[in-house]
Chain A
Amino acid sequence: MLFSIVTGLNCWALNMKIELKNVSLSIQQDDQTVELLKGVSLEARLGVIHALLGPSGSGKSTLLYTINRLREIQGGEITLEGKDIRRINVFELRRRIGLVMQKPIFFPGTVGENILFGPRLWSKDNMTLVDPRHYIELVQLDPAWVSRDPSTLSGGQQQRVSLARTLANNPEVLLLDEPTSALDAQASEHLETLITHLCSERGLTVIWVTHDVHQAKRIAHDVTLLYRGRVVEHGEAKRFFASPSTEEGQTYLAGKLGGQL
């Protein structure tokens, strides 16, 4: 009996890749304290896609950036596999938790050099470096593009190169900040298929910020709805889309929950 409780707990803990407990973050602006995150709690399960929804200005990017510690939280706790992220070396943390930003940005240099940025930080000697072409293939682009200038690629291709650059760090968790917001429908769906595939293939845990309900429906196992820095819905995607439990949830699905300016 006791044994089964312990293993049960263990299982549950192992299943939770990332947990946020009562996370708060505020900034000083014109002598005023602005709360961007107000007691946010959520869990991201191992190996599934978690959609973070909410109107613009609700704090989705800020929340995402706290998970790889690009933003510091003032209250609460974030854990990776049960361990407080503040107790993990911050550079190692960022290698394990990869981020793809909203707009693709590139370092000066070729596609290949961009992809090698991460691996070069970790490898002691350049001999054992990974082959950037492997990651270009992984995101379904032509490996011959290794020596191309990223600025000559289309938006969708650029976003896939950004993804390849993040994957070259061999992360366990992928944070995606509206990666398809600048792409057309076809390029968006291509990226969705690609990431869904990678997630199941490599057991990646994905937290995907989107403001597109239809996209969330297509990709997500779990959903969190953030509104004005607060979690208003958190749970399985199927349940949320079938019957949102809050008024804000219903309003949001009806496309009527306004953002902040």
Chain B
Amino acid sequence: MSWLALSLSLGFVGLAAIVSRYQELGLEKELAIAVVRTLIQLTIAGYVLSYVFASQHLIFMVLMLVLMMGVAAQNAAKRGKGIPGALRIVLIGIVVSEALSLMLLLFLGIPGTPQYIIPLSGMIIGNSMVASGVTLNRFSSEFTLRRGEVELALSLGAAPKKASLSVIKAAVKAGMIPTIDSMKTVGLVQLPGMMTGQILAGADPIQAVRYQILVMFMISGATAITSLIVVLQGYLAYFTPEAQLKSS
């Protein structure tokens, strides 16, 4: 695609701006910032990626993965406001699920080159980010809702984990459901971004589909692991070492 065609695509953004103005949504400034950020971030990403792909040094790939995980964790931790150590909790969840997924991918024979590892990791990390954000968010709202039930369980002699089990389950479930839902409608409602990109770039749709299936399966596992890790660390923040509820 030529640069000219790309600049003309700004017309679509113009449409969004008109809607915003007409409906007095006041989103024009946000929109302008978003356009500039999209342009800059993706352009930089493109150049960085082509450099990393061309380079023989795996260190660049590793650096890039570290950066991706750091940004993702930072973003998801915002959902866990009020949970002490949310950033650390989310980071551990994302790193572990990324590591496990990568091991599995390499075991399945996916080449360990940046060209494969970075886009696949992007999808794992991105989805883990969303899952851990949703999980933390749900955990804290559900905990507030069921505080009485949790304290009742403590009063009967339950350990904190047992006392918050129903909250833990609800949060993990909330973290996993978006992935499961998208697995159920994929190909019917939407074509996933990765597959669309591959097909547009001229790849064989059948080949693209195979990778997509791999990616969907991988994401379902990765998000489940992330949610579980996040919640199993997160619940501890609500209790004292003497198995008492911390005051809210």
Contact = CB atoms under 8 A, between A and B. Distances in A.
Interface stretch (A11-19, A66-74, A136-144, A213-221): A66-74
Interface string A43-69: 000000000000000000000000011
Nearest to B245: A70
Contact of B240 (A72, A108, A122): A72
Nearest to A118: B156
B167 to A, nearest CB: 12
A91 B157 contact: yes
Contact of A118 (B148, B157, B243, B247): B157
A169 B156 CA distance: 7
A82 to B, nearest CB: 21
A69 B153 contact: no
Interface in A93-109: 94-95, 98-99, 101, 103, 105, 107-108
Interface in B134-186: 148-149, 151-159, 162, 166
Interface of A: 27, 68-72, 90-92, 94-95, 98-99, 101, 103, 105, 107-108, 117-118, 121-122, 165-166, 169
A225 B157 CA distance: 29
Interchain residue pairs A-B with the least CB separation, the first 3: A94-B157, A95-B157, A99-B155
Given A105-B149, A121-B162, A94 B155 contact: yes
Interface string B214-247: 0000000000000000000000000010111101
B156 A94 contact: yes
Contacts of B162: 121
Contacts, number: 55
Interface of B: 148-149, 151-159, 162, 166, 240, 242-245, 247
B152 A105 contact: yes
Contacts of A98: 155-156
Nearest to B149: A105
Contacts of B247: 27
Most interface-central of B152, B157, B166 (chain A CB within 10 A): B157
Nearest to B240: A72
B161 to A, nearest CB: 12
A92 B157 contact: yes
Contacts of A108: 166
A72 B155 contact: no
Most interface-central of B151, B156, B159 (chain A CB within 10 A): B156
Contact of A117 (B156, B240, B242): B156
Given A91-B243, A121-B162, A70 B151 contact: yes
Given A105-B148, A107-B149, A121-B162, A71 B156 contact: no
